[in-house]
Amino acid sequence: MRVHQTAIDSSATGIGSTSVSLNQILTTTTNIASTGTPQATRISGFGSGTYQAADCLIEINDTTNNRSAVTQVTLIHDGSNIYFSEFGAFDTFNGSGIGTVGVGYSSTSGGDLELRLTPPANTAITTKVFQYNFTETGTGGVGFVTFTNSEIRSQEGTYTGTDNDIKFSFPLKHRGDSVFHKVFDASDAGSVDVTNDTLIINNHFFTTGEELTYTPTGAGTTMSIGITTATIVGFGTTDKLPSTVYAVKIAENKFKVSASATDALAVVPVTLDINAVGVGTTHAFTSKNLNSKMLVTLDNNIQSPVIQSPVNTALSFDVLTTTDFVTLAGVSSFFSGDVIKINDEFMKIDTVGIGSTNQMLVKRAQLNSALANHTAGATVTKFIGNYQVVEDTINFTDAPKGEKGPVGLTTTSTFVGRAFTRTGIPQGTQDTYANNYVFDDVSNQLTGVASAFVLQ
């Protein structure tokens, strides 16, 4: 057995320090005079601009009553706020310690970070602090102080969060081409044929009558493809390509767009007159209702797209983008591993009842959804299923198994996906895929007796 021991010299005075790479070992002795109105007094500290965290061993000696105590504090700060935890307190008199330990900045913000003690009234105190100060910036390499059988070492390193190495999202392609989401250079006359009112994108996979979302570069329509001024239902009068259009397939690499499904499916399609290329190289056309167009298997098991269940509740408090905790009005039907949706953000429940009965720890921005703020009272809905398709990616609730096993005997999950495409009904009035549905969960209707169920 080898022991590395830290001892505090009862006769030591003043301040001493030793640098270990970019970190520091600091010792401080402070005498606090007896007073009837004690105040929080600095017993150690460091420049908040130099160090971000510290681990402090504190010896407190009551020289008035000949008592001693020892405690430990770990702290960290961000330049404006300090967070600390006190633990491991002992004393020589079976009491509650000597005084109150606290922390603070020497000025409102950005000054020295101070470790403070408020002693009992009418008690003279001497404190001795042994602390490690840590910095998170700079490159100092490895530093160490050696002893006979041990050493104190300072070393830098990086850590990648576990979930960052787990792959939940995968690109959806057919022979190397994206299936549902096509990005193109709208400023290129080779992609936007003004003369023939045609979009030219290799292997676009769009069918006549299919509803598409058009997304230009930048905000608004300033950089959008130009069209002859037209009045479009749901969009108004405009001279820019609207955000919702309907495809008219010309060839595997060419299509035109109409303002409505009726126009696109007419015997002679009525298409929008394109009169100007756009600005920017990252415009996109994206298919709609992607989950309803696919059949997916993992390891020969059919996967279900995420669907809404009848279980819902409400947020009790606001949820900001900076937290992973949400509090619900009720949690009796929510469990670890469940997927929930608040507004447009999907989350996965990690732990239920953490800190308080209705508080949950969650993983934010799941299934390729965007991290967002949510206000108290917002509806929280439970979803079931395995995946969601967003633009050109398929996103799973749980990561498929990666490669494992020795060389030559490696196993992994297997994936098969099939997209079903078709042309709309000639002279019809509905989007080609308007009658493709992913039905809501009916589990709550299953009784073991009923044989007819309501599909929504």
User: Bigger pLDDT: 143 or 293?
Assistant: 293
Q: Is 343 exposed, middle or buried (CB count within 10 Å of its CB: 0-12, 13-18, 19+)? A: middle
Query: Which two tokens mark 152?
Result: 């104190």
Position 26 pLDDT exceeds 80: yes
Grouping H, G, I as helix, E, B as strand and the rest as coil, residue 450 is: coil
Taking alpha carbons only, the member of 18, 132, 138 closest to residue 74 is: 132
Task: Output the pLDDT for position 163.
Answer: 67
CATH classification of 15-154 is 2.60.40.1680, yes or no? yes
Q: How many CB atoms lie within 10 A of CB 323?
A: 13
Locate the domains of the chain by residue range.
Answer: 15-154, 173-289, 307-384
Give the pLDDT score at 171.
93
Place 161 in a pLDDT band, splitting at 50, 70 and 90. Answer: low
Local confidence band at 335 (pLDDT 50, 70, 90 cut-offs): very high
User: Stretch 81-94: mean pLDDT, rounded?
Assistant: 88
Q: What is the pLDDT of residues 266-277, one digit of tens each?
A: 999 999 999 999
Look at the alpha carbons of 443, 447, 451, 456 in this order and tell me if their dihedral is positive or negative: negative
DSSP state of 203: T
Give the total residue count for the chain.
Answer: 456
Q: Name the percent of the chain lying above pLDDT 90.
A: 65
Per-residue pLDDT, 432:
87
pLDDT of residue 376: 95
What's the CATH fold of domain 307-384?
Answer: Elongation Factor Tu (Ef-tu); domain 3 (2.40.30)
pLDDT tens digits for range 169-190: 999 999 999 999 999 999 999 9
24 contacts: CB under 8 Å, gap ≥ 6: 17, 18, 46, 51, 132, 133
Q: 103 to each of 14, 17, 43, 83, how far by Cα in Å?
A: 20, 20, 10, 8
Q: Which residue has the tokens 């929080």?
A: 40
**pTM of the complete model:** 0.63
Mean pLDDT score of the chain, rounded to an integer?
88
Q: Yes or no: say if 207 and 422 are a contact pair by the CB < 8 Å rule.
A: yes
Confidence of residue 206 (pLDDT cuts 50, 70, 90): very high
Closest CA to 259 of 271, 273, 250, 274: 271
Supply the DSSP symbol for 6: -
User: In this structure, what DSSP letter does residue 49 have?
Assistant: T
Cβ contact 133:54 at 8 Å: yes
Q: Where residue 140 falls among pLDDT bands split at 50, 70, 90?
A: low
- In degrees to the nearest 10, what's the CA dihedral of 383, 435, 430, 212? 50
CA angle 180, 183, 185 (to 5 degrees): 155
Does residue 241 surpass a pLDDT of 90?
yes
Query: Is residue 365 over pLDDT 90?
Result: yes
pLDDT tens for 36-62 read 999 999 999 888 888 999 999 999 999
- Which residue, 367, 403, 373, 402, is CA-closest to 386? 367
